Amino acid sequence: MEIKVTRAQTNRTRPKDADLGFGQVFTDHMFVMEYSEGKGWHDPQIMPYADFSVSPAAMVFHYGQAIFEGLKAYKTSDGKISLFRPRDNFERMNRSAKGMCIPPIDIDFVMDALKQLIRLEEKWIPETLGTSLYVRPTIIATDPFLGVRASFTYKFFIILSSVGAYYAEGLNPVKIWVAKDYVRAAKGGVGEFKTAGNYAASLIASEKAKKDGYAQVLWLDAIERKYIEEVGAMNIFFLMDGELVTPNLTGTILPGITRYSVISLAKKWGMNMSERKISIDEVFEAHKEGKLTEVFGSGTAAVISPVGEIRYGDKVISIGDGTPGETSMKFYNALTDIQYGKAEDSENWIEAVD
Ligand code: PLP
Ligand code: COI
């Protein structure tokens, strides 16, 4: 399939790196293609970034059949562009697609389209450590139809955003709030897919957390309300009594690509690393006994985010001394050194855009 390219007639400039924030600055172009039964994915285009025309009856607006991904392109110290494990994102997108009855995409084709788009938007890739070009591939159901079924037509698009840190705290420890009265996902549901509705369902708890001064929600399992799952936009790790622990994947947690990367590095470094059930009581108990040394989240947007405080009902614990812990920083540095081309890509995680 040939990609039609229409160049934007604009001369916008990228804001200063320090002013970027997260997800507010969009580039000049986007990639779009359509799907219909019989034709498959067709009409791939790189075109000026603009509003879409979609029917108000489009099924995505009514029944939420939508999936997305998040990955990043980095400007390396020698001026090259690198993507971090991008194929893993598109593979996860295809798993989300299967779970949401959306047709899969051809990963090689979409990778080529993404690289072409990024090459055109090179000036939007910021260069300072901690900044990057965030890539948001998305698929939405477009049938104008009010009956409940899987759509027959879809739109796939990739938009790009020049970004800085996800949290206002930057690399400083964030505070998280354990949801007691709300759950994110139950077994047999769609928790492991990156589908829009998971985020919509999380809003009521995260707004409450925010009102109390907490950056994000820490979710517990839906059945026993006891075992830790993940945070709103990242997976979670605990360093307890010398063991690095993260919840195992049970179908309700997003299988984060940063999570896999942290686990691989921890194993490579010979750390005592486990993927297992962790109850919130175990974490509070470990804290009481002085064994909870560090907590951090992992995610594309969040990178490695140290957690400095956890609130669970009336109980509040502080972790560390208000600065990022040694282990969190070790993972942060190892990952970002690979992403920004400062360290050898020994794990083969980088795909160059040349
Ligand atoms: N969990 C949730 C709910 C997320 O939204 C994200 C972000 O993508 C993650 C975990 C981390 O996943 P990844 O490391 O692939 O970005
Ligand atoms: C990401 O880390 O890419 C995410 O998708 C998290 C969030 C912004 C929803």
- 264-289 per-position pLDDT tens digit: 999 999 999 999 999 999 999 999 99
Query: For residue 77, what pLDDT is reported?
Result: 87
Higher confidence at residue 165 or residue 260? 260
Q: 169 falls in which pLDDT band (50, 70, 90)?
A: confident
Furthest-apart CA atoms within the chain: distance in Å? 62
All structural domains of the chain: 4-164 (3.30.470.10), 174-339 (3.20.10.10)
300 Cα–ligand 1 center, Å: 6
What average pLDDT does this structure show over 111-134?
97
Please classify residue 91 by burial: count the beta carbons closer than 10 Å to its beta carbon, then call 0-12 exposed, 13-18 middle and 19+ buried.
middle
CB hemisphere CA count around 257 (13 angstroms)? 22
Two tokens at 211?
A: 């009102």
Residues in CB range of 47: below 8 A, 6 or more apart: 4, 5, 6, 29, 30, 32
What average pLDDT does this structure show over 218-227?
98
146 Cα–ligand 1 center, Å: 31
Cβ neighbours around 243 below 10 Å, total: 14
Query: For residue 190, what pLDDT is reported?
Result: 98
What mean pLDDT value characterizes the chain? 97
Q: 125 falls in which pLDDT band (50, 70, 90)?
A: very high
Query: For residue 51, what pLDDT is reported?
Result: 97
Query: For residue 11, what pLDDT is reported?
Result: 85
For the cut 90, the answer to whether the pLDDT of residue 133 exceeds it is: yes
**Rounded distance, CA 26 to CA 42, Å?**
24
Q: Please, are residues 247 and 218 in contact by the beta-carbon 8 Å criterion? A: no
Q: 352 falls in which pLDDT band (50, 70, 90)?
A: very high
Query: For residue 30, what pLDDT is reported?
Result: 98
CB hemisphere CA count around 219 (13 angstroms)? 28
| Best mutation site among 166, 219, 339 for ligand 2 pocket (most ligand atoms within 8 Å of CB) | 166
Q: Give the residues surrounding ligand 2 with Cβ less than 6 Å away.
A: 70, 233, 299-301
188: left (phi over 0), alpha (psi -120 to 50) or beta: left
pLDDT digits (tens, 9 = 90+) for 28-82: 999 999 999 999 999 999 999 999 999 999 999 999 999 999 999 999 989 999 9
Ligand number nearest to the C-alpha of 93: 1
311 Cα–ligand 1 center, Å: 21
**Rounded distance, CA 195 to CA 96, Å?**
7
